[in-house]
Structure 1
Amino acid sequence: METLELLLQGFTTALQPEYLLYAFIGVLLGTAVGVLPGIGPAMTVALLLPLTYSLDVTAAIIVFAGIYYGGMYGGSTTSILLNTPGESASIVTALEGNKMARMGRGASALATAAIGSFVAGTIATVLLTLLGPIVARWAVQLGPADYFALMIVAFLTVGALLGSSAWRGIASLAIGLFIGLIGTDLLTGQARFTFGSAQLGDGIDVVLVAVGLFALGEALYVASRLRGGQIPLIPITKGWRNWMRKSDWARSWKPWLRGTAIGFPIGTIPAGGADVATFLSYATERKLAKGENKKQFGNGAIEGVAGPESANNAAAAGVLVPLLTLGIPTTATAAIILSAFQTYGIQPGPRLFEDQPVLVWALIASLYIGNTILVVLNLPLVGMWVKLLQIPRPYLYAGILVFAGLGAFAANFTVFDIGVLFVLGVIGFFLRRLGFPIAPLVIGAILGPMAEAQLRKAMQLGNSDPMYLVESPFSIFAYGSIAVFIGLSIWLGARRKKYEARLAAETAASETSAMAAVDAEILEHEEHAEHAEASERGAPSEAGDRSDSPPDTR
């Protein structure tokens, strides 16, 4: 009952015209960046961090949450119409959604993606509403050693499992920890890794880290890989009657619920996220399909759109559970939202629900509102989002670079920050080119100082005895869970790679059979043509032979 009262108070705040406008702006921007390939929520939130200083904290966090949710929605549009996912979590949607669009059912694919996202987002937000206070009340009992153990779990799982290999992820994490420790040690007063620069005495601002690595570095990387040319769009049939048939509803509602059940818990674990959830949902739907529905997989099965898109948005809400209750980000976007809290002097964690109840419940209420706005934006206005793809890429990425520079300067109004931004951008660019993930780096830079502070508190309480770090039952459980998390994530990743390989083989086989059918048709057509030509040449000759033969004298 108390939770319901707090949620109603949150709606009282979130439904104020000012915050409704910010929620609308957030989901609008999120959908736009989700549609544009290569520009995701992490980059957008990083770019906007310096530009939201003039807003109050509630408005800023509502905008960032809207961008996060909207980006998950928008990624499905390009996956379905272009076969080019705007977000990595929308890769699976392209497998069946683009096939549906090619068969003239693009409107149905977009509708089931949007409605499924709404259903999953709403259910997952209800779960966040119910579980958030419970987890927060339990987490208040954790001590410094327990928190340090939690952060070690986050470091190792995210570092080892994100990226193409474990060593690349750990190396990226180490670079992030190094960046996070730059500055003056508040306990001893000693300068660390400042290289004699007085400007680095206060450390590197998390805004510069986020903007440099995600906005500048990612923009340079994506721009270096994009090529010019006209983007081939698949036209869609307009009109609400073309959205979903009764049979589509009957085939979609169960995948929506299953996708939600898969996505939410996976979103709460470190290194889980929407990517793993969408592949697992697709594999589940493919396995459960029967009869004619099973034959449609690989050729435009609507279940292959409904399930993954639901898992995608449910995982986005799941990510907010450890972020708000424990202060632990499990994705890159969550890490940047964490840095947004910190710029306002607020530390997410167990006491957030007690110290900032207005902010927390207004944020949760805005998620319900944002989901509703997103349905309105994505169903009837899909044509408007597609037009964004016509923006010339040089202008787009030039604008990102300009915003990155302005944001870096606005952080502290010093030219030195522009230089730091450039260095971080170059580091981010080359790391991406070499296959190193950026998310562990950002998480290391943001959580590194926090982990150091908890470690020092724990050592003070334990009289500098290292065994104090593993004395509490929770810390033992946390360290033991590392193996479970890594094993689970490796298993999920292996299943994902297995399905990727199988789908690639099936796609290649279908394309080969299609080409063989075309070749056979062409060959048959040529044979008919030759036969007809031979018949035309032979007919007069046979007639002439008959006319030249002597008459029968019998």
Structure 2
Amino acid sequence: METLGFLMEGFAVALTPYNLMFALFGAFVGTLIGCLPGLGPANGVAILIPLAFTLGLPPETAMILLTAVYAGAMYGGRISSILLNIPGDEPAMMTCLDGYPMARKGRAADALAVSAIASFSGGLIGTIGLIMLAPVLARFALTFGPAEYFALFLLAFATLGGITGKNPMKTVIAAALGIMISTVGIDISTGTQRYTFGVLELYEGIDFILAIVGLFAISELLFFVEHRMGEGREKMQVGKLSLSLKELVTTIPTQLRGGILGFISGVLPGAGASLGSFISYTLEKQVVGKKGRFGEGDIRGVVAPEAGNNGASSGALVPMLTLGVPGSGTTAVLLAMLISLNITPGPLMFTQNADIVWGVIAALLIGNVLLLVLNIPLVGFFVRLLSVPPMYLLPIVTMVAFVGIYSISHSTFDLYFMIAFGIAGYFLRKLEIPLVPIILGLLLGPEMEKNLGHALVLSDGDWSILWGSPLAIGLWTVAGLGLVLPYLVGPLLRRRMNAAIKESPVSD
């Protein structure tokens, strides 16, 4: 009953006309960003962060806006997957397998409609799971001491590559880079300058908002210029909706299975929506067996991955809100926004900033309804957007990034720094070094250092305190497994995912 009361307070926050307007705007913009191949939810949220600061939004409104963008981008990723056989982001890869064959058979409208409904179901199941699990996990996290938090941060870094990661060693290198960057500035415990090189602007450290916008938005801009500048796509014909109620009802078990599996994979740090969509599709294929025509336009092959990746997007918010450890790349960006608003994510947030937490959760429920209402009637508009050359869209993205960053500090130094991060991000991506671990290292590095210092002070310098409790030992054990599993399980899962894509008749 206590949780229900908090949720009602959250609805009181989210349903104010001001917050509802930004939730609708975020859902719309997020869908636009999601349907553009290559951008994805992390880039979408990163692009909108400067806008939130420019408009001077209150913390709860800013988080509602960005959470709506996150959910909208997860919805939008299915559009290019179905119509172009090009996933908007990695979690939408599995939607291509049956979504594109349905489009080629003249059922593009049906595929888009059922994917929107599956996305709604998956997001709803994930949000319900978030409501049930987050308060319980937050109460449990109150028992953590500095040693346990240090082990928890190690666990976050250890599982960051995820069990579908391509190269765990590059993930470790990226995380180390992020931690190194986080040490720039004045050490708050000793007052010592570290790596400032006499530059006054570096005394307070490197603003992670600059790093996020540079690494995500500006590097993506450079990639667009290199690979897709001036590229337009043929306008797709969606056709008429012919989906029957009977056909839709038969997909309900698929929606439930996909949403639950997706939520579980989202809660696991490092797993995320890609794993959610893959295991949802794979399980559905096994459940249906020979009765299905997966890879040839089976409607359940569209429903399962869409329910899975949207369930995972809500699940990834659980560790971020309760432990301060992001469950995905996009939640790492959301974590940065919370920290920039002087809000410390973690168990105390549920008491100290309850209006923000429950306002965001309520906004997720409202946002899923808004997205369902938006996506079906406006799908023609989103489809036409795919035929617009990026050369017309890129200046808008660039303008939002530059104006937003300058409005935060009114410093040209910050603009140059953002560009430098963008160029660095471009070359790191060329080397296939992931960017999310850098952001996570930059965000969690100071807290990790602070908890290590507190633990050593409490033990008079005895390092054994770091593994002196059963909980700490458990976290260290899971962290060790997180380092090993990507080498053992990751290649196997990726081979199976690639095999599933190659087996599809339209994989070429």
Q: Which residue does 2:154 correspond to in 1? A: 152
Q: Which residue does 1:258 correspond to in 2? A: 257
Q: Could you tell me which of 411, 416, 420 is aligned with 1:419? A: 416
Code of the residue aligned with 1:459 in structure 2: it is: L
Report if aligned partners of 2:163, 2:485 keep a CA contact under 8 Å in 1.
no
Give ranges in structure 1 of 5+ residues lacking alignment: 513-554
Q: Distance in 2 between matches of 1:52 and 1:492?
A: 40
Q: Distance in 2 between matches of 1:127 and 1:336?
A: 22
Deviation readout 1:42-68 (Å, 9 max, x if unpaired): 222222222212010010000010001
4+ aligned runs moved over 6 Å, structure 1: none
More contact order relative to length (CA 8 Å, sep ≥ 6)? 2
CA shift at 1:129, angstroms? 0.8
Q: Which residue does 1:44 correspond to in 2? A: 44
Code of the residue aligned with 1:394 in structure 2: it is: M
Report if aligned partners of 1:353, 1:360 keep a CA contact under 8 Å in 2.
yes
1:459 matched to 2:459: no
Report if aligned partners of 1:65, 1:367 keep a CA contact under 8 Å in 2.
yes
Q: Distance in 2 between matches of 1:214 and 1:19?
A: 26
Q: Distance in 2 between matches of 1:304 and 1:337?
A: 31
CA shift at 1:221, angstroms? 2.0
Q: Which residue does 2:306 correspond to in 1? A: 309
CA shift at 1:452, angstroms? 0.9
Q: Could you tell me which of 395, 401, 411 is aligned with 1:398? A: 395
Q: Distance in 1 between matches of 2:288 and 2:488?
A: 23
Q: Which residue does 2:349 correspond to in 1? A: 352
CA shift at 1:228, angstroms? 4.0
Q: Which residue does 2:266 correspond to in 1? A: 267
Q: Which residue does 1:198 correspond to in 2? A: 200
1:235 matched to 2:237: yes
Deviation readout 1:472-500 (Å, 9 max, x if unpaired): 11110001012444555556634432323
Question: Pairwise mapping of residues 457-496 of structure 1 onto structure 2 (< 5 A)?
Answer: 457-486=454-483, 493-496=490-493
Code of the residue aligned with 2:10 in structure 1: it is: G
Report if aligned partners of 1:280, 1:492 keep a CA contact under 8 Å in 2.
no
Query: Root-mean-square deviation (CA), in Å?
Result: 1.9
Report if aligned partners of 1:102, 1:234 keep a CA contact under 8 Å in 2.
no
* 1:505–1:208 distance in 2 versus 1, CA, 3 Å: closer
Deviation readout 1:156-178 (Å, 9 max, x if unpaired): 22157575312211111111111
1:379 matched to 2:376: yes
CA shift at 1:238, angstroms? 3.2
Report if aligned partners of 1:266, 1:318 keep a CA contact under 8 Å in 2.
yes
1:184 matched to 2:190: no
Q: Distance in 1 between matches of 2:81 and 2:98?
A: 9
1:140 matched to 2:138: no
* 1:418–1:485 distance in 2 versus 1, CA, 3 Å: same
Code of the residue aligned with 1:164 in structure 2: it is: K
Deviation readout 1:362-418 (Å, 9 max, x if unpaired): 111111100000001111210011122233211222332232222232231111111
1:363 matched to 2:365: no
Deviation readout 1:329-370 (Å, 9 max, x if unpaired): 122211111111111110110000011111111111111100
Q: Which residue does 1:518 correspond to in 2? A: none
Report if aligned partners of 2:166, 2:490 keep a CA contact under 8 Å in 1.
no
Q: Percent identity?
A: 39
Q: Which residue does 2:277 correspond to in 1? A: 278
Q: Which residue does 2:18 correspond to in 1? A: 18
CA shift at 1:189, angstroms? 1.3
Q: Distance in 1 between matches of 2:486 and 2:68?
A: 28
1:329 matched to 2:307: no
Q: Distance in 2 between matches of 1:91 and 1:501?
A: 10
CA shift at 1:19, angstroms? 1.2
Report if aligned partners of 1:283, 1:499 keep a CA contact under 8 Å in 2.
no
Report if aligned partners of 1:163, 1:435 keep a CA contact under 8 Å in 2.
no
Report if aligned partners of 1:101, 1:234 keep a CA contact under 8 Å in 2.
no
Give ranges in structure 2 of 5+ residues lacking alignment: none
Q: Which residue does 2:222 correspond to in 1? A: 220
Report if aligned partners of 1:160, 1:169 keep a CA contact under 8 Å in 2.
no
**Bigger radius of gyration:** 1
SS in 2 for 1:158: coil
Task: Tell me whether 270-279 or 48-57 shows the greater mean CA deviation.
Answer: 48-57
Q: Which residue does 2:385 correspond to in 1? A: 388
Code of the residue aligned with 2:341 in structure 1: it is: Y
Q: Distance in 1 between matches of 2:174 and 2:148?
A: 25
1:6 matched to 2:3: no
Code of the residue aligned with 2:286 in structure 1: it is: K
Q: Distance in 1 between matches of 2:463 and 2:436?
A: 29
Task: Tell me whether 342-351 or 153-162 shows the greater mean CA deviation.
Answer: 153-162
Q: Which residue does 2:32 correspond to in 1? A: 32
Q: Distance in 2 between matches of 1:221 and 1:90?
A: 20
Code of the residue aligned with 1:470 in structure 2: it is: W
| Structure-2-length-normalised TM-score | 0.95
CA shift at 1:314, angstroms? 0.4
Q: Which residue does 1:544 correspond to in 2? A: none
Report if aligned partners of 1:33, 1:41 keep a CA contact under 8 Å in 2.
yes
Q: Which residue does 1:91 correspond to in 2? A: 93
SS in 1 for 2:386: helix
Q: How many residues align?
A: 506
* 1:492–1:257 distance in 2 versus 1, CA, 3 Å: farther
Report if aligned partners of 1:176, 1:442 keep a CA contact under 8 Å in 2.
yes
CA shift at 1:322, angstroms? 0.3
Deviation readout 1:275-300 (Å, 9 max, x if unpaired): 1111111111122223342xx11111
